[in-house]
Chains A and B, each alone.
Chain A
């Protein structure tokens, strides 16, 4: 591992602790000197959030990759947070189990990174997002102490659910050392249909998916430049063979009149790879990606608006959940489009850049306009990281000025 690492143009010393205790020791040392810590897992989200400005130490999390306990018949697994997603899935697959989040770049992505950045994908419609799988969590606090919450049983309400705060916190409340997940059985059969839609039929397709007799685990709208249609609907099913076969037949029937050309059925053995590839199309390793949220009923319309504003963009919308992502075409600065997208997203809607080149990463473009409840987040950050040593400035609640002082 290189002795230094670049974070937002800062050339920083890097360490790679191999045990949770060693991670805690790193935190203690940096707390004493007031030096910031920047966690790096697979290095896939370095362009997320507000850029780092205060020099500190990079902590590579990938050496923390042990499996601590896997009682497969309890359908839980306890692992260190730096484990790569592909390795975790391999271990689970041996017991015919899985973590049903469609994670892009699984060979690189770490579990901790997925949780910190709250990465989810197509099947969130059926299975939820990372917050729904974490049942126990150990993090290092700002005093360098290992603190745990939750436990190793699937149902547990003892104590505050601290994991909810850490999932999506981008490491601003401390690094995750160890995670206990509840996992699911691998579905016996999976199937995906790709339906290139007739022009203007994307909203009708989303409405139909909402009420269709089949119960898809995923329903996506995808715009790919150069594809056979402006929008392709992707529908995923999983379960016992008879149920999947019935749904595939039923969906073909229900969506036939919306199809521009023949409905394509993916080969069963390529479904996993296809779902991952789909996730990767809107999560390229570099460049800018916009993310938006709205009510499910508005998703298809909002997706079309984004595509109209950025011709040639790859747009991936999940109308069942009301979230979408768009890869910004090269040379296009999307920041000026965000306010219009927020309006179009309607009440409660949001639009931001999930990742972007450094000059575009202002607080507003990355997190949207400030909201009143951020006062609570700031109070939590003040309590949990008063000196702002955890990934300072990444989110608005843990601002730290260049002179090192918390603000």
Chain B
């Protein structure tokens, strides 16, 4: 459904009753404070919610959802707001249910390789809690110091090490979810293969459109005994991508295979002084892990393949400190981009791994055509690109060119047989691409599933699926893209 703005008189009543559920300090509704919640990590579209509530328990989420339903007010869950696709953008306003105060790690059971966490637990906290015992939580998005596990569940987040270990859905065993009618359901759990449909599997990645996930059972993984981290230095992006193809083609599944191009190298070098060669065209972070026995041989094979693809040199992280600094450079690369331009827009395209060289050439051409600088730092082993378009949001012409270039990049991903999002989600940003990726029949099938979970559409309206027929109707754009109107 497409939602209309909530009437001011309704908002007043709503706030009063919400305060009855979460207390006066459990919500915010002043216009100044709400500014923080008008967008997430994707800043090109904005829309302010009417109120943000901070429940501390599932029971409060139930009451909030029931109240929204009674008053016919749209609502959506939010974790830390690190979405890069507008997943937390409150289209049409309404209530944001922030899970930020539901942040307890409820159970850690290493013998059974699982943990039960509240949705607002920060991804990194879980690994920090268990690392001294030799375990970790595998999905490691670059924002893992800030993003919540609930948010990861919503978008089926990835991260550098998902190449070997899988994405969020491969590590979520069950969830507690407050359904859009206020019922609490437990789907799956720490016991595997329960009879019936895999509802957990379809809830992961549903971007908050099926209800509010309040808890998750996640799988824990033993740390590898040993790790070898290599840095391949290449004269050109082309050579680096050819090396990626060669490594994967040789049947090696590295723990991570990440590429940084020269523009991003400059930014991270300024920020972290790692010692990256600033004259390099691209570098590859290549990591293998597992048992110590044989790991040097595997690292040597990778080094040989990199050199066969014209790597100028291959360095080894000799100490754990060096390795951690290398990963810090990679994971905080987005933050370092602030040194290059006042604003940036990160894209999330995917292509078959063998199409990476062609795709990167296209990105360069698109950047040149639109007179934009585009930096690349991405999960090369998965074919998951993150071109970062640099601009100044105070200049409307640059903003327009960023939008156009972004769309051309994503169209090119589709042309090469890929997808418009590998891990950030559709959100509001990519909703128009859904009808390019999927036929009306494909979308109708997805709409039926949403209908089963969320029949009146009040939960996260206008997300993930385009409103049927939206593209064809003139004037629809305003309703579907209220945020874009606000930003432009």
- CB <8 Å contact, B199 and A373: yes
- A384 CA / B433 CA spacing, docked (Å): 24
Q: Judge whether A339 is part of the interface by a CB distance below 8 angstroms.
A: no
- A140 CA / B420 CA spacing, docked (Å): 24
For residues 235 through 281 of chain A, which have their beta carbon under 8 Å from a beta carbon of chain B?
A: 239-243, 245-247
Q: How far is the CB of A18 from chain B (nearest CB, A)?
A: 22
Interface pick from B41-49, B93-101, B162-170: B162-170
- CB <8 Å contact, A215 and B291: yes
Q: Judge whether B262 is part of the interface by a CB distance below 8 angstroms.
A: no
Interface range on chain A (Cβ under 8 Å from partner)? 35 or more
- A396 CA / B197 CA spacing, docked (Å): 10
- CB <8 Å contact, A160 and B352: no
B residues near A158, Cβ cutoff 8 Å: 419-421, 426, 430, 433-434, 437-438
For residues 160 through 213 of chain B, which have their beta carbon under 8 Å from a beta carbon of chain A?
A: 162, 166-167, 169-170, 179, 185-187, 189-202, 204-206
- CB <8 Å contact, B202 and A160: yes
- CB <8 Å contact, B252 and A373: no
- A30 CA / B442 CA spacing, docked (Å): 21
- CB <8 Å contact, B294 and A162: no
* Set A168, A348, A396: member contacting B190, Cβ < 8 A: A348
For residues 96 through 143 of chain A, which have their beta carbon under 8 Å from a beta carbon of chain B?
A: 96-97, 118, 128-129, 131-132, 139, 141, 143
- CB <8 Å contact, A159 and B446: yes
CB-nearest residue of chain A relative to B437? A158
Q: Judge whether B451 is part of the interface by a CB distance below 8 angstroms.
A: yes
* Set B253, B419, B441, B452: member contacting A153, Cβ < 8 A: B419
- CB <8 Å contact, A165 and B196: no
* Set B192, B248, B290, B453: member contacting A75, Cβ < 8 A: B248
Q: Judge whether B136 is part of the interface by a CB distance below 8 angstroms.
A: no
Q: Judge whether B377 is part of the interface by a CB distance below 8 angstroms.
A: no
- A155 CA / B190 CA spacing, docked (Å): 25
CB-nearest residue of chain A relative to B134? A211
- A382 CA / B192 CA spacing, docked (Å): 26
Q: A153-B417, A321-B192 are in contact. Are A73 and B248 (CB under 8 A)?
A: yes
- CB <8 Å contact, B445 and A147: yes
Q: Judge whether A310 is part of the interface by a CB distance below 8 angstroms.
A: no
**Per-position binary interface string of chain B over residues 335-366, scored 1 when its CB falls under 8 Å from any chain A CB and 0 otherwise:** 00000000000000011111000000000000
- CB <8 Å contact, A74 and B422: no
- CB <8 Å contact, A322 and B191: yes
A residues near B194, Cβ cutoff 8 Å: 293, 348, 350
A-B Cβ contacts below 8 A, count:
251
- CB <8 Å contact, A210 and B201: no
Q: How far is the CB of A211 from chain B (nearest CB, A)?
A: 9
CB-nearest residue of chain A relative to B450? A160
Interface pick from B120-128, B231-239, B320-328, B378-386: B378-386
For residues 357 through 385 of chain A, which have their beta carbon under 8 Å from a beta carbon of chain B?
A: 367-368, 371-374, 376-377, 379-380, 382-384
- CB <8 Å contact, A397 and B197: yes
Most chain B CB neighbours (cut-off 10 Å) among A141, A155, A184, A323: A155
- CB <8 Å contact, B156 and A157: yes
- A396 CA / B196 CA spacing, docked (Å): 8
- CB <8 Å contact, B452 and A373: no
A residues near B448, Cβ cutoff 8 Å: 380, 383-384
A residues near B191, Cβ cutoff 8 Å: 293-295, 322, 345, 347-350
Q: How far is the CB of B311 from chain A (nearest CB, A)?
A: 19
B residues near A368, Cβ cutoff 8 Å: 195
- A203 CA / B137 CA spacing, docked (Å): 26
B residues near A377, Cβ cutoff 8 Å: 196-197, 199
* Set A76, A96, A367, A376: member contacting B352, Cβ < 8 A: A76
Q: A141-B445, A297-B112 are in contact. Are A185 and B251 (CB under 8 A)?
A: yes
Q: A149-B442, A293-B193 are in contact. Are A162 and B434 (CB under 8 A)?
A: no
Q: 29 A-B Cβ contacts within 8 A?
A: A74-B353, A118-B193, A132-B170, A141-B445, A147-B439, A147-B445, A149-B446, A151-B418, A152-B352, A154-B383, A155-B379, A155-B384, A158-B438, A159-B446, A160-B202, A169-B197, A240-B298, A243-B295, A295-B109, A321-B193, A322-B112, A323-B193, A350-B191, A372-B185, A373-B185, A373-B187, A377-B196, A380-B197, A383-B452
7 A-B pairs with the lowest CB-CB distances in the bound complex, closest first: A164-B201, A185-B251, A242-B294, A246-B293, A348-B191, A379-B452, A243-B294
What is B's interface to A at a CB cutoff of 8 Å? 109, 111-113, 155-156, 158, 162, 166-167, 169-170, 179, 185-187, 189-202, 204-206, 222, 225, 245, 248-249, 251-253, 290-291, 293-295, 297-298, 350-354, 379, 382-384, 417-426, 430, 433-434, 437-439, 441-446, 448-453, 464-465
